Amino acid sequence: MFQGILINKDDNGYQVELKELDDSILPEGDVTIKVTHSTLNYKDGLAITGKSPVVRKFPMVPGIDLAGIVEHSETDKFKVGDKVLLNGFGVGEVHCGGLAQKARLKSEWLIPLPEAFTASQAMAIGTAGYTAMLCVIALEKNGVTPDKGSVLVTGANGGVGSFSISLLAKLGYQVVASTGRPEQAEYLKKLGASEIIDRATLSEAGRPLGKEQWAGAVDSVGSHTLANICAGLKYGGTVAACGLAQGMDFPASVAPFILRGITLAGIDSVMRPLADRIEAWQRLGELLEPSTLDDIANNITLSEVVSTAEELLKGNVRGRVVVTL
Print pLDDT tens along the chain (325 aa): 999 999 999 888 899 999 999 999 999 999 999 999 999 988 999 999 998 889 999 999 999 999 999 999 999 999 999 999 999 999 999 999 999 999 999 999 999 999 999 999 999 999 999 999 999 999 999 999 999 999 999 999 888 998 999 999 999 999 999 999 888 899 899 999 999 999 999 999 999 999 999 999 999 999 999 999 999 999 999 999 999 989 999 999 999 999 999 999 999 999 999 999 999 999 999 999 876 687 678 899 999 999 999 998 887 887 789 999 9
Residues 256 and 192: their CA atoms lie apart, in Å, by 28
**Do 2-116+288-324 and 128-266 come out as alike in CATH topology?**
no
Of 137, 143, 67, which is closest to residue 109 (Cα–Cα)?
A: 67
- Return phi, psi of residue 20, to 5°: -85, 125
Burial of 294 (0-12, 13-18, 19+ CB in 10 A): exposed
Q: Structurally, what CATH architecture does the domain formed by 2-116+288-324 represent?
A: Alpha-Beta Complex (3.90)
Enumerate the domain spans of the chain.
2-116+288-324, 128-266
> Which one is the CATH code of 128-266: 3.90.1150.10, 3.30.470.20, 3.40.1260.10, 3.40.50.720?
3.40.50.720
Taking the C-alpha atoms of residue 229 and residue 280, their distance in angstroms, rounded to an integer, is 25
What is each CA distance from 117 to 112, 122, 279, 294, in whole angstroms? 11, 6, 15, 13
Beta bridge partners of 152: 176, 217
Cα separation of the two ends of the chain: 14
